[in-house]
Every structure is written in structure tokens, then in C-alpha cells.
Structure 1
């Protein structure tokens, strides 16, 4: 049965004798909350010349039952409604008005899950679900923000499972050498990698140039890989475009670039095992490395070549080569 909402006058529209009226209403209270509510409304109508329409009641409506009970027990609550209230009108009469929720709201609240049952249908999220972080662009601020957030999220999910970082990046420059980001973008990702509790497996799948080469070498020792046709390259940082900048500001930027170069030399020396002098000499000009040179230089530990384990297993040992060639080793020589 459909019912209309109850409307009650504000305290400002009632006479000053509302206190005595509420006391008389309490004395008139008899059995039945709805009868008392009707009595309250009729008394208000009698006290005021303006008539207040009394809507039909649905006895099976639990909200109206509580409303009628509250009106019969304390009618002054309706007569002296506070002007300033933090809750909607008359909802503060109940401790927990759960009956006001609609079935749709209840259904949504019950079916809500903290984690989705399957990953969202976009490729970066699918890779992230497999604990893979793919860096396929130059290190601009937007890329750095995403990579650092993904690393932190993967550690939060499981601090024991390894994280796989696939690199195909030209660092803070483009292919033509134009600077697109500060060197601090690469240092930010590097610092985030060093703070992780997880093992970090790094894989170069195309190019790892400049700061990207540092990230490749910064993986866990023994877990740094490179594809057979990938390239790695280290070079000196470059000054961003100065434009119409004053000469003094250009000098300040040049000093900052030299500081970043020294930091890059120290970090590469730490992760490759070479001396800082060796790294500095190699970085005077762009130093390209294929997978074999990168392994010899200490940037990676292994070359990912499918089937290489089987091929190397089939290769005969040096002793077998000597035996097949008819060479006999003499003891003591």
C-alpha cells in the first residue's frame, strides 16, 4: 500500500504554549502508537487554525511504526525541531535508520568485492597481473610515475615473489638524442628498485640506453638477462634545451649535468664490477654493447637464447675433442 511522507510544521510556526500541549498529549496517550500519532496531529490541528493533512497509515510499514512510536512517546521532538541539524529531517530520531536503504543499494553493498576476480582487459594490467613491469618508452615523468607505482604495488601484493622488468627504452633521450627528461627520472626508478624486498629480474628486449642501461644492470645479481639481438649503450647525460636562458643559468644546468654524470658512473661501477675510471672512459663517447659485450662488461649475467642449454649440452668437452683429434695429453706438461 503506497503512503505519502509525513510533513510536520517547524517549531517557528507553532505557538509558545507547545510545552503544555506536549504534557497534555502525554496524559492522553493510550494503547496503540498510530492512535497516539493521530491524537498528536489532531491536537496540533486544534491548537493551530491551519489544518495539517493527515495521510493514511500503513500498519505494516516498519518505518512509519517507529515514527508513530517516537511521536507518541515524545511529541515535543516534533514540536521543537532544532533549526541547525547535521542529519536530514527527523532521521536523527532513530539510532540506525537502516530501513531507509533501497534494495539496489543493499544489493550493491553485498556484491562488492575488494579485488576483482580477473584483471582488467588492458594490456599493462594483464602484464602487471603476471608481475611484469614493461618499460617501453623514454623515461619521461608520466612513465616514471607509472613504473614506481607498479613496483610499490607488486611489493604490497607479495614481498617474496620476484618482479620482472622488461626494458626497451632509450633512457631520458629520444632515438635522435634529443633530451626528453631529467636524469632524475631514471634515478627515481633506480631508488624504487633498491627499496624493494623482492628479487628483481631485468630483461633487455630491444634497447637499454643511458639510464635504461643502469636499470638493466641494477637487477638482482644472476637475474639480469638480455635477448640475443638487444643492444645496451652507456653515454654521458646531456644538457636539456636551454632556449633563451641566460648564460649563468646555462652554467648552473651544466654543473647539475656533471653531477648526474658522476652519480651515473658510480652506480654503473657498483653494478658492473668495473672501476669508475673504466666507466668514465667508456662513457666519453656512446659505448654500444651487444649481448656478448654486455655480458663481458658486467651489465648482464645471461643471454636469453631459446634452446642454448640443449646446444651447449651437446658440445663435446675439451678432453673429448683431443681424443677425437688423436691428441694425447702427457702428464707433467
Structure 2
């Protein structure tokens, strides 16, 4: 068998593990004798691979270029045989989306408001303090920049510039700032009350596009006069100045509510003398909203008697209101 095989060494290529170690590559030449039937298997070479094809061609024609590599060469192994070496045939294409989550996300979102913002939803779920005002106005401006023709949906569950216990936490200008930003937008603004819309938040609810102001069936709306901040050890003259400013803000709030609800300023001013709570039905009657978001609510609410009619039919005598 040894006599029938001629195994001349064509070239040897250093292995990837160590440059000094060589692995022989053999060519098999079988004689025409019928007794020669054994062949040494050779690893297949992909003809579509330009690097391996070029390497095989150099190994067959001038193996010394592979065997006699200079020591301390800074070039990567076997790349110096190319005139213009390229690591990739074409550069990688990176897909860039216009906005976050345009395609299926491959990692968790930065935060939940970002996902809501992608759906053009601005959620006001905290009292109107400077940080909330800054975020809401920025989101409104961003949505107009993205598309000035698509509507913006403002979901409101906010106690305005006060907490639920009535303590003031923000200035009335916080609500007026969001209101002015809403009025400057070119987009339609759909407002939805999903919990409570109290004070300045009720103004934002009523300031939506006419016909696009909604309320959940069990949400509450309430309008009230602005509150004087705590005076503490403030001088009497400063207390008077702040009281005048609160009265000015109250008059502005009355004018804006009258404008968006369709009521007279006298009517709004009268009901605002004390906190005026409204359920979804009363809010619709008062002009704060246009529709209650409840499946089948039109027929159900039409069949429900008002509290006064229910008391009358039940024979309950109504005492003078407090």
C-alpha cells in the first residue's frame, strides 16, 4: 500500500492554536494500477468563501508566503496575503426606528410612561407639582412634534394643586401652565377622567376638544376656590398680597371654566363658593364632559331616575340642603 501511494507534501499551514505548530496538507496521487483504491480524505472548501478560496490558492502556488511569516508581525494571521484585506464583505446594517417600540422590543422599556407616550397617552396621576408639570408639558410638545395631526389622549386622575385632604402642594400656575400648553397644540386633545379631577385638574378635563371629553362612570369631578398658602410668620402686608393673588387666580379659573362648560361666570362662581362635587352624570349636565365611557351607558343612564325623583317616588321628605 505504501508503494502504491505517493504522498508528496504540498504545503503546511500553521494551526490557529500556535504559529510554530504546523499541520501538513497532502495531495494524493494514485497510480493507474487497479490495485490503488484508497484515498486520503480532504476537508471540503466552500467555493463561495473568498477568504478560504484565496488561502487555498496561495497555499497551492506559493506556500512560502504562509510558511515564512516574519516574526513579530502586527498583521492578523493570513490577512497579509490580501492586497486590501476586508473582514466583512458588506458592513452590518443597523435598523433604526423612528420612535421607541416601533418594532417588537428586544429589551425592557425604560419606564411605563414611555410606552404610554408611544400610544400618544399622557397620564396625569399625581398632584400638579413642578415636576409633574414639567413632564406633562414636555410630553405634549413631543407628541405634537412627532405628528401634529394625530390626537393626544390625556388621562386624568389628579387632585389638582392640593392633596386629597385639601392641603396645598402646588401653585395655581402649575395648572395654568398645562392648560396653556394644551391650548397651543395643533392636535386634537381627548381628555378622560379615570378617577378624580379636582380643582385645576377639572379645568384640564373640560379644556379638551369639544365632543372629545370623556369620563369613566364612577369618576368624580370637583371645582373649588384656590386656597391661600400657609402664612406662618409672614407679615400682614405679605398676607394681603398673597390673598389678592389667590383672588386673581380664582377669577381666572371661573372665566376659563365658564368658557369650556358653556355656563355663565355667575353660575360657576356661585357653585364654587363651596367644593362642588360632580359624578359623571352631573359633570355631563354641567358641561365638563361630553360623554360617559361605559358600554351601553346611554340606555342604562337614561333609565336611571335622578336622586330627587327617586326620593319623591319613595315618599322621602327632603330637608333643606346644608
Q: TM-score when scaled to structure 2?
A: 0.62
Give the aligned partner of residue 78 of structure 1.
none
State the match for 1:149 in structure 2: 138
- CA distance, structure 2, for counterparts of residue 242 and residue 162 of structure 1: 42
1:256 aligns with 2:245: yes
Match of 2:82? none
Tell me how far apart the structure 2 counterparts of residues 238 and 183 of structure 1 sit (CA, whole Å). 9
Q: Which residue of 2 aligns with 1:223?
A: 212
* C-alpha displacement of 1:172: 0.1
Instruction: Give the distance between the partners of 1:312 and 1:232, measured in 2 at CA.
Output: 18
Aligned-residue offset at 1:181: 0.3
TM-score (norm 1): 0.60
Match of 1:113 among 92, 96, 99: 96
- The aligned length equals 217
Matches within 5 A, 1:266-281: 266-281=255-270
Displacement of 1:311: 6.1
| Cα deviation, residue 244, structure 1 | 1.6
The residue aligned with 1:284 is 273
| Number of the residue aligned with 1:133 | 122
Which residue is equivalent to 2:59? none
Can you give the 5+ residue segments of structure 2 that lack an aligned partner in the other structure? 1-71, 77-87, 304-322
Measured after TM superposition, the shift of residue 310 of structure 1 is 7.3
Return closer, same or farther for 1:197/1:247 CA change in 2, 3 Å cut-off: same
Tell me the equivalent position of 1:167.
156
Please state which structure has a larger fraction of its residues in strand: 2
The CA deviation at 1:242 is 1.9
Unmatched 5+ residue regions in structure 1?
Answer: 1-55, 61-102, 315-333
Q: Deviations over 1:27-80 (max 9, x none)?
A: xxxxxxxxxxxxxxxxxxxxxxxxxxxxx99899xxxxxxxxxxxxxxxxxxxx
* Secondary structure in 1 matching 2:222: strand
1:238-257 superposed matches below 5 A: 238-257=227-246
Structural RMSD (CA): 2.8
Shift of 1:307: 2.9
Q: Give the CA deviation at 1:118.
A: 5.4
Give 1:237's aligned residue: 226
Query: Which has more helix, going by share of residues?
Result: 1
2: distance between equivalents of 1:285 and 1:313?
Answer: 29
From the superposition, tell whether residues 180 and 59 of structure 1 become closer, same or farther in structure 2 (CA, over 3 Å).
closer
Distance 1:300 1:58, change over 3 A: closer
SS of residue in 1 equivalent to 2:221: strand
Distance 2:262 2:158 in 1: 23
Give the Cα separation in 2 of the matches to 1:155 and 1:256. 33
